[in-house]
């Protein structure tokens, strides 16, 4: 029995070690999202569309991933973690952007995965062009957390 | 107004009427019947017919290929005959209905554009009260899209999406701001999601959704009824969010194993009722997050069967006011999981069936006498540290749980408590029978087992040492006879190996140091008096009780692989627990679904057991013999190589008993390995190759029938059923012969030397006492166990 218990303890130590190594820590740069595999930390749905996907990295190096920018706002507003960087995608090019540097549009004409209707753009000019074509309003990142 | 002017106006009116009459007469008028569209005329395009149709007209479109897009701007009936095709040529939406009260049915709609941004669809309905019925949609991005189409009916359509990666597919059905819509009897294959958002009072009934991402995805839809659907092989069966008063009932939700892998997910829901669903072989049967939201709301889950999932029910630790009543938790690898570990509070668990419940029901009221309290250290740790799932099925996990039992200081608090656990499962009636290819699913399941077995080689040690035999068994199951030959080449291990089996109930030792083997194809009897411990031995072998010692069945260790053992073993319990309101066919189909095997009525054994002609009979009306046959048929589902039977004829009359044993002899002839318990010597003699005599929880002797003389030297007990009112007379007659005889309920118990077994019967017959039946048992002075 001693052998079994020792094996168990060893395995737990190994597993905890593995978990520490494999928790998806990101120090610099945007996080990785495996589309079609990763699930949203807020709604538990599968993240499939890069245009709407968002993420943030905590001070501890943990990555939270979301299928909808609005879900990131909801999740963060609830848990209030110490965050190093928020990330969103440019709606047109699907390139990662630092959320603080992006311009956001809230529009009922955009059907985002969780219905928040939020999309991000690399420049204000692109956001304005989108509003002209599809309607909606331009909002800054900080304003997202005020509602 | 002058008379002249009035005459002029009348003349104009008549003139206009005449012109209309002439123009209408030039073409087949809809007032005289439908407007007919066909490649040969009178109309050759649907658009042309619609141009002249009046509200309420019927446009009948005959077989042929017609070019889209088609926009329906009038309230007409469009009826396809001989499957006319509306071809979208890969551009835009193929059919758009913008008028209310349109009927559209009987068409093949194909080849829409593939723009997700433009939401290119097969059929888009943007007006109320439409009916879209009996169409086939092929190569469409979105299938049927209701936009502000209140009270529209989507019925009996078959929808197959474009062959794209899942995220790039559209939704086969999308209901958007369309309250009161009815979605029923549609078949959806390989789409993305069936979306139902921002709509109240929906009915979703009788649909089959397979091979997609979300079988159903509800958001902001209050008061919906979701019933009789089949949601299979999707990433998630049904994800229900931000809605109130949803009623989910009688759905078959199975094999949903994508990244989320929920059978049913409920997030931010209030007052949902989830009842009589069959949730089978999903990663998580039911997932509950932040539901209910409101303080005066309750979530109710009742009479569901939650079976063979990795996790039966998964809850966030914050879950409150969830009521689980009369559900059946069957063989889930983890019955209830709390994300993040810990305990649940303010939830009610009452009268559920738990397949891993190890309590007892001494008063026979169907409710266990001790509470069900799952206490597993490893599950608790796994909840807190998800990476530990890597070790979930390893010996390490078993060792941790074992250590927790040995050292109570580290024993976790139970995550829940069901004070009144049921002893038998609740079987919901009316759940739709699954379609498709169950044999393929079964085969895939077996392949998964092979892979699992191969993976386990890596664990080495005792488990790894048995993989060879397990793989042999699986190969036999998949490949049939050829596989069996291969198996014989690779594996000569006994089918059942029992070493030092001991089972204690508290301080009471029901089974003590039992050793025996059962070879492949052998029939072995556990013979002993009632209470000798036979049932306890069988339940340990099935992994239903925790025990000490080593039991290997078909290569699986019963202590930590009970589920795998039970997949290999057909078990006929002593007490049958069928649902009396179901028919024989429904009962077999239900258990076939649970075992993921072929439809039961096509089974050769069902025919041999004489159940085919009883298919429609209600189980409650069957005789004891027929119920026993049904139990055997259920045990034989999936053609298991091993049968365990616990006192299989205890409640049968003489004729039924004989017939039943003839069937068992056929099964032995067919190569089944059979282990059965009995207290009747005649049954043992009729079937067994070897007999293990069980007394006081021990196997006191074992060998071929002819070797039992020594055992029988102590004599045997003959139990006699005699005519009512003659019991006292029978006892008197037997004692007069110098035999030890006692009244035993409504019969008589008499101990005789083994060479005088018939003597009591002859003596009673001579004294005019009518003997209806008799049974032989070994004499045992000690009677213990179960």
Residues B687 and B555 in one domain: yes
pLDDT one-digit tens code per residue, B71-128:
999 999 999 999 999 999 999 999 999 999 999 999 999 999 999 888 999 999 999 9
Residues B678 and B733 in one domain: no
Q: Does A53 touch chain B if contact means CB atoms closer than 8 Å?
A: no
What pLDDT does B172 receive?
96
Give the CA angle between residues B168, B174, B179 to the nearest 5°.
160
Beta pairing partners, B505: B508
- Can you list the residues of chain A whose pLDDT is less than 70? 1-28, 147
> Which of B229-233, B424-428, B641-645 comes out lowest in average pLDDT?
B424-428
Q: Residues B524, B679: contact at Cβ < 8 Å? A: no
Q: Best residue in B317, B400, B548 to probe A by mutation, most A CBs within 10 Å?
A: B400
Residue B552's Cβ-side half-sphere holds a number of Cα atoms within 13 Å equal to 18
| Cα–Cα distance for residue pair B110/B115, rounded to 1 Å | 15
Q: Best residue in B219, B260, B377 to probe A by mutation, most A CBs within 10 Å?
A: B260
What pLDDT does B425 receive?
79
pLDDT one-digit tens code per residue, B636-688:
887 888 999 988 877 677 777 778 888 888 888 888 899 998 877 777 777 88
Average pLDDT over residues B224-245: 94
Residues B646 and B740 in one domain: no
pLDDT one-digit tens code per residue, B627-641:
888 888 888 887 888
Residues B633 and B511 in one domain: yes
* Three-state SS annotation for B497-535: EEEEEEEEECCEEEEEEEEEEECCCCEEEEECCCCCCHH
Is A4 close to B403, i.e. CB distance below 8 A?
yes
Residues B517 and B581 in one domain: yes
Residue B518's Cβ-side half-sphere holds a number of Cα atoms within 13 Å equal to 30
Q: Best residue in B147, B218, B259 to probe A by mutation, most A CBs within 10 Å?
A: B259
Q: Best residue in B399, B401, B458 to probe A by mutation, most A CBs within 10 Å?
A: B399
| Cα–Cα distance for residue pair B537/B548, rounded to 1 Å | 12
Average pLDDT over residues B66-72: 93
Is residue B484 pLDDT above 60, yes or no? no
User: Is residue B54 one of the residues assigned to a domain?
Assistant: no
Report the number of distinct structural domains present in chain A: 1
In chain A, what residues touch B399 (CB-CB under 8 Å)? 4-5, 7-8
Closest residue on chain A to B198 (Cα)? A115
Is A22 close to B387, i.e. CB distance below 8 A?
yes
Please tell me which of B284-293, B522-531, B701-710 the model is most confident about, judged by mean pLDDT: B284-293
Residue B584 CB neighbours (<10 A) = 27
Distance from CA of A37 to the nearest CA of B (A): 5
Q: Which residues contact A42 (CB under 8 A, 6 or more apart)?
A: A66, A71, A72, A74, A75, A114
Q: Does A142 touch chain B if contact means CB atoms closer than 8 Å?
A: no
What pLDDT does B509 receive?
84
Rg (CA), chain B: 34
Average pLDDT over residues B318-334: 88
Q: How many CB pairs under 8 A join A and B?
A: 76
Q: Does B391 touch chain A if contact means CB atoms closer than 8 Å?
A: yes
Residues B475 and B501 in one domain: no
Rg (CA), chain A: 19
Q: Does B218 touch chain A if contact means CB atoms closer than 8 Å?
A: no
Is B167 close to A5, i.e. CB distance below 8 A?
no
Q: Does A78 touch chain B if contact means CB atoms closer than 8 Å?
A: no
In chain A, what residues touch B239 (CB-CB under 8 Å)? 45
* Whole-Å CA distances, B294 to A78, B269, B270: 17, 9, 7
Residues B559 and B685 in one domain: yes
What pLDDT does B316 receive?
83
What pLDDT does B4 receive?
56
User: Is residue B510 one of the residues assigned to a domain?
Assistant: yes
What pLDDT does B75 receive?
95
Residues B524 and B567 in one domain: yes
Distance from CA of B261 to the nearest CA of A (A): 10
Q: Does B220 touch chain A if contact means CB atoms closer than 8 Å?
A: yes
Q: Does B239 touch chain A if contact means CB atoms closer than 8 Å?
A: yes
Going by pLDDT thresholds of 50, 70 and 90, the confidence category of residue B27 is very low
Average pLDDT over residues B403-418: 68
pLDDT one-digit tens code per residue, B353-370:
998 887 777 777 888 888
Closest residue on chain A to B197 (Cα)? A115
Smallest Cβ distance to A48: which of B166, B398, B403? B166
The two three-digit tokens of residue B189, written as one number: 């294959």
Q: Give the residue numbers spanning the domain of B235.
A: 213-375+413-428
Q: Does A79 touch chain B if contact means CB atoms closer than 8 Å?
A: no
Q: Give the residue numbers spanning the domain of A44.
A: 2-144
Is B390 close to A18, i.e. CB distance below 8 A?
yes
Is A11 close to B396, i.e. CB distance below 8 A?
yes
Q: Does A67 touch chain B if contact means CB atoms closer than 8 Å?
A: no
Q: Does B258 touch chain A if contact means CB atoms closer than 8 Å?
A: yes
Strand segments (E) across B377-495: none
What pLDDT does A86 receive?
94
Give the domain CATH number at B659. 3.40.50.300
Q: Does A48 touch chain B if contact means CB atoms closer than 8 Å?
A: yes
What pLDDT does B381 receive?
67
Is B387 close to A18, i.e. CB distance below 8 A?
yes
Average pLDDT over residues B705-726: 71
| Cα–Cα distance for residue pair B667/B673, rounded to 1 Å | 9
More confident residue, B595 or A125: A125
| Cα–Cα distance for residue pair B277/B307, rounded to 1 Å | 11
Q: Of B774, B761, B778, B760, which Cα lies nearest the Cα of B716?
A: B778
Report the number of distinct structural domains present in chain B: 4
DSSP code per residue over B579-627: -TTSBHHHHHHHHHHHHT-S-GGG-HHHHHTT-GGGTTSBGGGS-HHHH
Residues B552 and B692 in one domain: yes
Q: Does B531 touch chain A if contact means CB atoms closer than 8 Å?
A: no
Give the CA angle between residues B41, B47, B50 to the nearest 5°.
90
Q: Of A102, A24, A90, which Cα lies nearest the Cα of A53?
A: A90
pTM for this model (two decimals) = 0.65
Q: Residues B699, B665: contact at Cβ < 8 Å? A: no
Is residue B538 pLDDT above 70, yes or no? yes
Q: Does B316 touch chain A if contact means CB atoms closer than 8 Å?
A: no
Distance from CA of A46 to the nearest CA of B (A): 7
Beta pairing partners, A121: A103
Residues B544 and B597 in one domain: yes
Residues B507 and B648 in one domain: yes
Residues B619 and B661 in one domain: yes
B43: three-class secondary structure by DSSP: strand
Q: Does B92 touch chain A if contact means CB atoms closer than 8 Å?
A: no
In chain A, what residues touch B213 (CB-CB under 8 Å)? 46, 48
Average pLDDT over residues B39-46: 91
In chain B, what residues touch A19 (CB-CB under 8 Å)? 385-388
pLDDT one-digit tens code per residue, B132-174:
999 999 999 999 999 999 999 999 999 998 888 877 888 999 9
Q: Residues B636, B605: contact at Cβ < 8 Å? A: yes
More confident residue, B93 or B504: B93
What pLDDT does B341 receive?
64
More confident residue, B470 or B534: B534
User: Is residue B161 one of the residues assigned to a domain?
Assistant: no
Q: Of B131, B121, B40, which Cα lies nearest the Cα of B78?
A: B131
Q: Say how far residue B200 (Cα) sits from the centre of its chain.
A: 31
Is B387 close to A19, i.e. CB distance below 8 A?
yes
Q: Does A13 touch chain B if contact means CB atoms closer than 8 Å?
A: no
Output phi, psi for B59, to 5 deg: -110, 115
Is residue B490 pLDDT above 50, yes or no? no
């Amino acid at each position: 029995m001693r052998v079994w218990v020792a094996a168990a303890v060893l395995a737990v130590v190994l597993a905890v070690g593995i978990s520490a190594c494999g928790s998806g820590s990101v120090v610099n740069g945007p996080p990785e999202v495996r589309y079609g595999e990763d699930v949203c930390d807020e709604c538990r749905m599968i993240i499939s569309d890069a245009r709407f996907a968002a993420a943030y990295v905590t001070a501890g190096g943990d990555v939270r991933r979301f299928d909808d920018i609005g879900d990131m706002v909801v999740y963060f507003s609830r848990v209030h973690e110490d965050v190093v960087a928020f990330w969103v995608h440019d709606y047109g090019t699907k390139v990662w952007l630092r959320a603080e540097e992006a311009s956001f549009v809230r529009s009922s004409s955009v059907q985002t995965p969780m219905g928040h209707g939020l999309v991000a753009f690399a420049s204000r000019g692109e956001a304005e062009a989108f509003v002209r074509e599809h309607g909606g309003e331009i909002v800054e990142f900080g304003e997202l957390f005020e509602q | 107004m002058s008379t002249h002017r009035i005459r002029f106006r009348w003349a104009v009116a008549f003139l206009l009427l005449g012109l209309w009459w002439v123009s209408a007469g030039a073409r087949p008028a809809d007032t005289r019947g439908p407007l007919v569209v066909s490649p040969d005329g009178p109309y050759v395009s649907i658009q042309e017919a619609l141009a002249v149709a009046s509200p309420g007209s019927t446009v009948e479109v005959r077989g042929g290929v017609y070019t889209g897009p088609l926009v329906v701007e009038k309230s007409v009936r469009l009826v396809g005959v001989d499957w006319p095709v509306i071809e979208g040529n890969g551009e835009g939406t193929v059919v758009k209905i913008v008028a209310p009260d349109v009927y559209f049915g009987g068409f093949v709609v194909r080849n829409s554009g593939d723009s997700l941004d433009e939401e290119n669809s097969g059929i888009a309905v943007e007006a109320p009260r439409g009916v879209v019925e009996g169409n086939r949609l092929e190569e469409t991005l979105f299938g049927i899209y209701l936009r502000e189409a209140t009270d529209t009916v989507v019925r009996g359509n078959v929808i197959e999406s474009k062959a794209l990666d899942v995220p790039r597919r559209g939704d086969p059905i999308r209901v958007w701001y369309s309250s009161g819509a009815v979605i029923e009897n549609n078949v959806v294959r390989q789409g993305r999601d069936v979306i139902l958002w921002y709509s109240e009072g929906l009915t979703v009934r009788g649909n089959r959704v397979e091979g997609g991402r979300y079988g159903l995805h509800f958001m902001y839809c209050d008061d919906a009824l979701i019933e009789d659907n089949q949601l299979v092989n999707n990433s998630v069966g049904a994800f229900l969010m931000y809605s109130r008063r949803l009623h989910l009932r009688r759905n078959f939700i199975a094999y949903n194993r994508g990244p989320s892998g929920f059978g049913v997910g409920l997030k931010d829901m209030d007052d949902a009722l989830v009842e009589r669903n069959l949730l089978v072989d999903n990663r998580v049967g039911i997932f509950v997050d932040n539901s209910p939201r409101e303080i005066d709301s309750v979530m109710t889950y009742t009479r569901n069967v939650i079976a063979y999932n990795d996790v039966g029910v998964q809850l966030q630790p914050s879950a409150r006011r969830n009521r689980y009543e009369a559900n059946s938790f069957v063989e889930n690898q983890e019955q209830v999981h709390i994300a993040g570990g810990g305990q649940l509070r303010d939830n009610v668990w009452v009268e559920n069936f738990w397949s891993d419940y190890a309590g007892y029901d001494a008063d026979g009221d169907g409710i266990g006498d001790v509470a069900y309290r799952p206490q597993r250290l490893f599950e608790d740790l796994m909840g807190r540290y998800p990476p530990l799932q890597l070790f979930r099925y390893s010996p390490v996990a078993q060792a941790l749980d074992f250590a927790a039992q040995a050292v109570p200081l580290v024993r976790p608090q139970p995550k829940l408590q069901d004070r009144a656990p049921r002893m038998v499962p609740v079987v919901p009636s009316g759940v739709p029978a699954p379609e498709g290819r169950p044999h393929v699913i079964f085969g895939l399941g077996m392949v998964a087992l092979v892979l699992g077995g191969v993976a386990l080689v890596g664990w080495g040690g005792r488990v790894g040492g048995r993989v060879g035999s397990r793989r042999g068994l699986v190969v036999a199951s998949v490949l049939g006879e050829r596989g069996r030959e291969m198996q014989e080449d690779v594996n000569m291990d006994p089918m059942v190996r029992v070493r030092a089996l001991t089972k204690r109930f508290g301080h009471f030792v029901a089974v003590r140091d039992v050793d025996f083997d059962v070879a492949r194809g052998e029939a072995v009897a556990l013979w002993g008096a009632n209470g000798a411990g036979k049932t306890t031995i069988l339940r340990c072998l099935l992994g239903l009780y925790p025990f000490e010692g080593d039991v290997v069945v078909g290569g699986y260790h019963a202590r930590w692989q009970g589920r795998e053992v039970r997949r290999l073993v057909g078990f006929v319990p002593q007490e049958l627990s069928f649902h009396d309101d179901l028919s024989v066919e429904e009962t077999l189909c239900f258990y076939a679904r649970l075992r993921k095997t072929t439809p039961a009525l096509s089974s050769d054994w069902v025919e041999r057991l004489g159940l085919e002609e009883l298919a429609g009979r209600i189980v409650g009306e069957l005789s004891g013999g027929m119920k026993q046959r049904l139990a055997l048929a259920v045990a034989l589902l999936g053609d298991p190589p091993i049968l365990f039977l616990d006192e299989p004829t205890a409640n049968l009359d003489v004729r039924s008993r004989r017939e039943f044993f003839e069937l068992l002899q056929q099964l032995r002839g067919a190569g089944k390995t059979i282990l059965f318990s009995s207290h009747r010597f005649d049954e043992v003699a009729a079937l067994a190759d070897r007999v293990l005599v069980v007394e006081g929880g021990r196997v006191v002797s074992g060998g071929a029938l002819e070797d039992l003389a020594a055992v029988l030297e102590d004599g045997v007990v003959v139990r006699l059923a005699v005519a009512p009112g003659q019991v006292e007379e029978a006892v008197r007659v037997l004692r007069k012969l110098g035999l030890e005889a006692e009244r035993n309920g409504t019969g008589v118990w008499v101990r005789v030397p083994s060479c005088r077994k018939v003597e009591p019967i002859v003596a009673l017959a001579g004294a005019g006492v009518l003997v209806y039946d008799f049974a032989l048992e070994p004499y045992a002075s000690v009677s213990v166990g179960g």
